[in-house]
Amino acid sequence: IEKIGEPTSQWHHINIEHIKQTTTHTFKNHEEAFAALAEKIITDSKSTKTSITAVGHRVVHGGEQFYYPTLINEAVLKTLEQLSHLAPLHNPINLKGIQFARHYFPKAK
């Protein structure tokens, strides 16, 4: 989802047949976009909040501490928050995405 908060947010999705679909939708804020994303993931995968076992995130800048795949825990989150100044336009939103996934998919790694 891109252009959140603008009148013409874009929703890009590659479906199970590997076909890219793009739709226009207005998302007022990241919370609204994340909620819609969670519903789409659950609906499209025919899963439940507890059957999602893992969620991957791309954080723009992890400093010298995070340059390889890392399981998220409270200490990692705190360090990523402290590194937000390295990518101020991206890392705070990346952290919201991580927090979103932890909220919507509490059993997922």
Residue with the larger pLDDT of the pair 16 and 76: 76
- Residue 95 vs residues 25, 29, 67: alpha-carbon distances, Å: 23, 15, 16
pTM for this prediction: 0.77
Asked if residue 8 lies in contact with residue 24, where contact means CB atoms within 8 angstroms, the answer is: yes
> Mind listing the pLDDT tens digit for each residue in 89-103?
899 989 999 999 999
At 78 the pLDDT is: 95
Q: Please report which confidence band the pLDDT of residue 9 belongs to, taking 50, 70 and 90 as the band edges.
A: confident
Other Cβ atoms closer than 10 A to 49? 14
Question: C-alpha angle with apex 64: 58 to 70, nearest 5 degrees?
Answer: 45
> Mind listing the pLDDT tens digit for each residue in 38-75?
888 888 777 777 788 888 888 888 888 888 899 999 99
